[in-house]
Structure 1
Amino acid sequence: MLVAVYARHSTEHQCTSTADQIARCHAYCAAKDYIVVDTYADEALSGATLANRRGLHAMMRAVTRSDFERIITEDLSRISRDQSDIAALYKKLSFLGIALETVSEGEINELHIGLKGTMNALYLKDLADKTRRGMIASVKRGAIPGGRTYGYDLIKRYDHAGEPIRGARAINPGEADVIRTIFTDYAEGQSLKRICANLNAMGIASPAGKRWLPNVLVGTASRQTGILRQTLYKGLLTFNKMQFKKHPETGKRTSVMRPRDEWIEVAVPDLAIIDAGLFDKVQDLIKTRATAREEAAEEKAAATAEQAAAREAARQRKWRAAQVKSPQKRRYFFSGHLLCAASGGTMRYHRKGVYGCDHARTCPTCTIEVPELMRWSLAAFRAITEADIAAWAARPEVAVQRQGFDEMIAAIDASVASKRAEVATILDTLGSHARTREVQRYLEEREQRLRRWHIDRVNIKRRREAITPTPAVTDAALRALRSLITTLETDPDNHLANTALRRVAPRVTVVRRGTVSLHVTYRELLKLGRPDQG
């Protein structure tokens, strides 16, 4: 059996782990009489996400080429520790007919995916909690997390055991004078632009080594960033303000603000650069002079501490919702693919809720509001019937494709029969001499070729089935299409439904007002009736 081996380790401190995993997997394959055709690895990469996993992505591309029939890894957590990721990978492998097998559990099935996936996810959560707890304990002992902060220098110190003390800092005298000047000038009433102009005129570089800009000084209120908001300057370290969550669609880490009651504040008087009174005065001035007038008015309007807390919680929820919003380049299924039959041009999003073409002033079709376009297009989708699918399947070009697939399958069957007859003749001729090493190697090579032909035949058969709709598949596809239509009738902004219909109809043409023509890709439509192929 042709197999591929996959290995992964999480940190650079486990530099020999990948080699050990590969060696163990190869020994396992040798004991099972598996033939390893390729080995893939990812080093110093977390199993919490599939992002940047080049080895895994290369293996999945090889899966689609049918280079092997089984994947061997040391443990399921080597593939991924995320429940949704491992379930999606297993579903894809199952569809392609590729088995997943681990040294520790054997062949993986749905039970392993559920139980081991949950255990791996809990391990990640527990590890994150322990890491965060350790960082908090380190901060409370006086260490300063993060990179360099303007006004301070990172210094090297060692404990009694000779281990480096991370997070040790000392005040930079020159930058500290700049910070005192900024706070003093702002407290005296100078504007942010005036302070920046003075610093740039004196040739003082900003923290990034560039020109000073107002946002460098005041930052953002929601994240409490900017020099004028940095509590460390008054000798108070504010920590644990942010947390990182993996985006469910992109797999990338997204920063999210924690509630204020989860922030941790530790007094570090040795690192104070300005007086606490001056710092607090500046914070009051920021609230009254902020360019975000609505935020300042909201703070002033809060009559009680409870109302202020409620407003802050609402603002945090709104900010979090914006952070985890699904990335969408196209809002509707016809966005970017809408044509005007009257003018022959492309219809574009001209203004909020309105589409039109470049000839909007003279074209009888343009302009059209989104609700009308959505209603006309969904009506065209609803008009698709079993007869339309049958007519597409009966087209000459589709019939030619099916005939080509049939010929390919017949050629493979003939090759398999010929090769098996050849092997049988050799065995009959050699008799007892057929057990020599050279003959065994020859037979293994022929067996590998037969397995490859078998995989090719399965893939060709699937491609033929994709253009040969059965009544059951046709009915399931139309039911799924009706469900998508109903979803968009009630929720036109539904991202998943719009994405699915965009694949079914990659081009939409407005023939005249009230009438829309769809360029339907029936192969994609039939995939709706085969969820395992979607």
Structure 2
Amino acid sequence: MADRQLRIPVMTHPLRTVIYARFSTDMQRDASIEDQIRSCREHAERQGLDVVDVYSDKAVSGASLMRSGVQKLLQGAQDNCFDVVLSEALDRLSRNQADIALIYQKLQFRDVLIETVSEGSISEMHIGLKGTMNSLFLKDLAAKTHRGLKGRALAGKSAGGKAYGYRAVIHYNASGDPIRGERKIDPTEANIVRRIFTDYAAGLSPKKIAEALNAKKIASPSGRGWGASTLHGNRERGTGILNNELYIGRQIWNRLAYIKDPETGRRVSRLKPEAEWVITEIPELRIVDQDLWNAVRARQGAMKVKNTPTAIWDRRRPKTLFSGLMKCGGCGGGFSKVSQTSFGCSTARNKGKTVCDNMATIGQAELERLVLDALQNNLMDQEALAIFCQEYARERNRLQAEASLSRNALEKELAATRKDHAKLVDAIIAGIPAEHVKDRMLALDARRIELEGKVAREADPSPIRIHPSMAESYRENITTLISQLQNPDGMLEAKEALRGLIDRIVLQPTEPSGKLAIHLEGALAGLLMISSDAKRQKGLSGRTQVFEDIDELVLVAGVGFEPTTFRL
């Protein structure tokens, strides 16, 4: 296919271009990324484009935008770091029709062009046609995969996943290719399954059964200890040891559909109509006899379905102000409601004292009072702020020293490249035919442009400027947020903002009183953000920016420093 010429306005300098490459399937390999980059570099050279950076994603599906390479690329476009995005094909950027349209819109808004090796300059027509084709490809691939798995399920073979009590068996055909999907009963695990069914039918609760298994140090399916939910699961969805009909030689496949959430990129499951289930009898895989299975079903009773008209996104909201942030100092597990007014270690109650013996509790009202008071008065004072800024400056200096070494190496290579290029020019002047050195001169010139771009980006960081009223501003904003907890209109935003200031709340049992010591770890990035009155903070108005480089500082604080800790 002849190279298409990129349709661009006349400019006096080469367009700054970034390359994006991606592979996602097992059929590809790391070298696929390098192949794509090499192809794009050759295309850029032919088109006279100046490649200034490369973004890539390895082994990540193109059906989601939750990819670090794509997110960095979009951020770079927002920061005006380049003029053209170059990729091997449009489907490398995304196979999802809505996502590729969104990428195109964002880049168009920033006056950034999209060029591909296979399709040339991308326009709205390509977005519509290729986006539709890529979307259909994904659907077709999913349908073919589903069809193949259904064939396995109908043949009584495993169509994915590993059930506790069984082990995989691989046979080979005459050509030596593996025949997958075969299973056989694991005698040791099968005995554990029968024990669980027997104990439950005898009246023991899933919690007590899990405690006993952990006390015997019996390995769980996850390897992280037995819990009550591992046993009782969800009867309607067929999850949990006690609901797995494979134990009576009956395989049910296609009960659940897994759909990717477009907001998070994560898969969520949905129960399918029973008419779509694929049910296969496999008597040789039975572990539990029918009488024991029926006894368990009788004890479970009729299926109870709660009438919950509340929208699912409301049910997923934290039930209390600090739900999900509390951790046990003994085992690292979560703290949850153990009574109407108190919290306790979930692991100690669900998996037994052999896993965690922290049985101390704390009242919800007392915990919230102590934590809110600490947020208001202890987690951001002027002395602590000064110490942080000293440490931040020291870290920036260390990183700058490392960057200087890298910059020196780049400058040396740049000087050598310019020198070699000048020698070739002198050689041509001296009479050597230009065609003999043309390729070498082009390569040196491309490398020179690339090195100049890298050296230009290695700029010295600006000094940190600290506003003297940062701590005062923090306390004012915290007071405002706490007061909004009593206001129905601003309560949800205030809760969300306050939770964003906390990394975690560790509740550690103390001796000999047995009471809980509270270690509050502040999320430093959130604390700095609210202290700076950043406009992105919900429920707060923006004022003077405390740090000129607040975005970078908050990023570094979020990943490079220990959280602020205060003991209550």
Q: Structure 1 length as normaliser, TM-score?
A: 0.56
- For residues 165 and 36 of structure 2, what CA distance do their matches in structure 1 show? 47
Change (3 A) 1:245 1:33: same
- For residues 243 and 281 of structure 1, what CA distance do their matches in structure 2 show? 30
What letter matches 1:48 in structure 2? A
1:121 aligns with 2:132: no
Equivalent residue, structure 2, for 1:415: none
Task: Tell which deviates more after alignment, 63-72 or 110-119.
Answer: 63-72
Change (3 A) 1:318 1:124: farther
Alignment of 1:369-384 (within 5 A): none
Contact preservation (8 Å) 1:256, 1:323: no
- For residues 152 and 106 of structure 1, what CA distance do their matches in structure 2 show? 52
- For residues 195 and 264 of structure 2, what CA distance do their matches in structure 1 show? 44
The Cα shift of 1:155 comes to 2.3
Alignment of 1:450-465 (within 5 A): none
Equivalent residue, structure 2, for 1:80: 94
Contact preservation (8 Å) 1:254, 1:323: no
Equivalent residue, structure 1, for 2:274: 260
The Cα shift of 1:269 comes to 1.1
Among 60, 68, 87, the residue aligned to 1:45: 60
Task: Tell which deviates more after alignment, 27-36 or 198-207.
Answer: 198-207
Change (3 A) 1:328 1:37: farther
The Cα shift of 1:241 comes to 2.3
The Cα shift of 1:115 comes to 2.4
The Cα shift of 1:202 comes to 4.8
Equivalent residue, structure 1, for 2:231: 217
Equivalent residue, structure 2, for 1:59: 73
- For residues 284 and 222 of structure 1, what CA distance do their matches in structure 2 show? 15
Alignment of 1:398-413 (within 5 A): none
**The residue matched to 2:27 in structure 1 has which SS?**
helix
Contact preservation (8 Å) 1:8, 1:18: yes
**What is the identity percentage for the equivalent residue pairs of Structure 1 and Structure 2?**
38
Among 158, 166, 190, the residue aligned to 1:144: 158
- For residues 326 and 87 of structure 1, what CA distance do their matches in structure 2 show? 31
Note the aligned Cα RMSD (angstroms): 5.1
What letter matches 1:162 in structure 2? G
1:9 aligns with 2:30: no
Contact preservation (8 Å) 2:64, 2:262: no
- For residues 185 and 169 of structure 1, what CA distance do their matches in structure 2 show? 26
What letter matches 2:134 in structure 1? N
**The residue matched to 1:155 in structure 2 has which SS?**
strand
Among 118, 121, 128, the residue aligned to 1:104: 118
1:33 aligns with 2:52: no
1:161 aligns with 2:163: no
Change (3 A) 1:506 1:174: closer
Equivalent residue, structure 2, for 1:175: 189
Change (3 A) 1:503 1:126: farther
- For residues 492 and 208 of structure 1, what CA distance do their matches in structure 2 show? 38
Equivalent residue, structure 1, for 2:511: none
- For residues 41 and 277 of structure 1, what CA distance do their matches in structure 2 show? 57
Equivalent residue, structure 1, for 2:38: 23
What letter matches 2:74 in structure 1? M
What letter matches 1:174 in structure 2? T
- For residues 507 and 139 of structure 1, what CA distance do their matches in structure 2 show? 50
The Cα shift of 1:104 comes to 2.4
The Cα shift of 1:57 comes to 3.4
Equivalent residue, structure 2, for 1:532: none
The Cα shift of 1:129 comes to 1.6
Deviations 1:48-75 (Å, cap 9, x if unpaired)? 1122x33333433443454432112121
**The residue matched to 1:22 in structure 2 has which SS?**
helix
**The residue matched to 1:36 in structure 2 has which SS?**
strand
Change (3 A) 1:184 1:77: same
What letter matches 1:263 in structure 2? W
Deviations 1:343-378 (Å, cap 9, x if unpaired)? xxxxxxx9xxxxxx97xxxxxxxxxxxxxxxxxxxx
The Cα shift of 1:164 comes to 1.5
- For residues 542 and 46 of structure 2, what CA distance do their matches in structure 1 show? 54
Deviations 1:113-167 (Å, cap 9, x if unpaired)? 2222222122212211211111111222232133432211222322232112223
Equivalent residue, structure 2, for 1:248: 262
For structure 2, the 5+ residue unaligned runs are: 1-13, 322-364, 366-371, 374-428, 458-487, 498-532, 546-568
- For residues 318 and 53 of structure 2, what CA distance do their matches in structure 1 show? 35
The aligned length equals: 367
Alignment of 1:78-477 (within 5 A): 78-200=92-214, 202-209=216-223, 211-287=225-301, 296=304, 321-322=312-313
Contact preservation (8 Å) 2:156, 2:251: no
Change (3 A) 1:158 1:505: closer
- For residues 54 and 278 of structure 1, what CA distance do their matches in structure 2 show? 51
- For residues 492 and 124 of structure 2, what CA distance do their matches in structure 1 show? 34
- For residues 283 and 111 of structure 2, what CA distance do their matches in structure 1 show? 64
Equivalent residue, structure 2, for 1:381: none
Contact preservation (8 Å) 1:187, 1:278: yes
Contact preservation (8 Å) 1:11, 1:43: no
Equivalent residue, structure 1, for 2:525: none
- For residues 135 and 117 of structure 1, what CA distance do their matches in structure 2 show? 27
- For residues 93 and 328 of structure 1, what CA distance do their matches in structure 2 show? 40
**The residue matched to 2:163 in structure 1 has which SS?**
coil
What letter matches 1:44 in structure 2? A
For structure 1, the 5+ residue unaligned runs are: 289-294, 299-310, 331-349, 351-356, 359-432, 457-488, 510-517, 523-534
Equivalent residue, structure 1, for 2:337: none
The Cα shift of 1:197 comes to 4.9
Q: Structure 2 length as normaliser, TM-score?
A: 0.53
Change (3 A) 1:159 1:324: farther
Change (3 A) 1:204 1:505: closer
Equivalent residue, structure 2, for 1:525: none
- For residues 327 and 78 of structure 1, what CA distance do their matches in structure 2 show? 38
**The residue matched to 2:106 in structure 1 has which SS?**
helix
Change (3 A) 1:4 1:212: closer
- For residues 217 and 537 of structure 2, what CA distance do their matches in structure 1 show? 56
- For residues 41 and 209 of structure 1, what CA distance do their matches in structure 2 show? 34
Contact preservation (8 Å) 2:166, 2:183: yes
- For residues 126 and 50 of structure 1, what CA distance do their matches in structure 2 show? 20
- For residues 277 and 227 of structure 1, what CA distance do their matches in structure 2 show? 17
**The residue matched to 2:70 in structure 1 has which SS?**
helix
- For residues 505 and 145 of structure 1, what CA distance do their matches in structure 2 show? 46
Contact preservation (8 Å) 1:72, 1:101: yes
Deviations 1:441-462 (Å, cap 9, x if unpaired)? 8xx89x989x99xxx9xxxxxx
